[in-house]
């Protein structure tokens, strides 16, 4: 099982960023993909999830209206786009999977993508 994320990016305030998470080694449509982030010196924060099978999505209220999660089943890839970036969005962003039932256990994680927002 692997979740491989896209590389680090530097963005200016107000810009958008789109991070990818390519899954391999398992049945892509059987596991939800979640996005979390960790800002410098801070803890883990859940952003939302996408069901790669049906495409339905659940976003954390904090990010509603500013985040979009999509998937491409042909390439087993999930995308997370975050808009209207500010310096507070500087963080490492992670994708992770959970099985679709019996608890949201984040058993495999991507390597993380550093997003730096700076003018």
Partner 1 sequence: DIQMTQSPSSLSASVGDRITITCRANQTILDYLCWLQKRPGRPPNLLIYAASTLQSGVPSRIIGSGSGTEFTLTINSLQPEDFGTYYCQQSYSIPLTFGGGTKVEIK
Q: Which residues bind partner 1 (CB under 8 A)?
A: 34, 38, 43-46, 49, 58, 60-61, 94, 96, 98, 103-107, 109-112
Is the CB of 15 or the CB of 92 nearer to partner 1? 92
Q: Smaller CB distance to partner 1: residue 26 or 109?
A: 109
Provide, rounded to whole angstroms, the least separation between the CB of residue 11 and partner 1. 22
Which residue, 2 or 13, has its beta carbon nearer to partner 1? 2
- Give the span between the Cα atoms of 76 and 49, in whole angstroms: 15
Contact (CB, 8 A) for 6 and 26: no
Cα separation, 66 vs 108, in Å, equals: 26
Residue 109 Cβ, how far from partner 1 at the closest point, in Å?
A: 4
Residue 74: CB minimum distance to partner 1, A: 26
Which lies closer to partner 1 via its Cβ, residue 61 or residue 119? 61
The residues pairing with 85 across neighbouring beta strands, listed in sequence order, are none
Sign of CA dihedral 99, 82, 74, 21: negative
Residue 52 CA to residue 55 CA, distance in Å, equals 5
Tell me the closest approach of the beta carbon of residue 23 to partner 1, in angstroms. 14
- 117 neighbors 87 (Cβ within 8 angstroms): yes
């Amino acid at each position: 099982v692997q979740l491989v994320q896209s590389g680090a990016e530097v963005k200016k305030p107000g810009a958008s960023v789109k991070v990818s998470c390519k899954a391999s080694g398992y049945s892509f449509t059987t596991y939800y993909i979640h996005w979390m982030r960790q800002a410098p010196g801070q803890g883990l924060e859940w952003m939302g999830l996408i069901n790669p099978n049906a495409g339905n999505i659940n976003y954390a209220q904090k990010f509603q209206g500013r985040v979009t999660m999509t998937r491409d089943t042909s390439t087993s890839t999930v995308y997370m786009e975050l808009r209207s970036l500010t310096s507070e969005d500087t963080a490492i962003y992670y994708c992770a999977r959970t099985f679709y039932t019996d608890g949201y256990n984040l058993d495999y994680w991507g390597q993380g993508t550093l997003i730096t927002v700076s003018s």
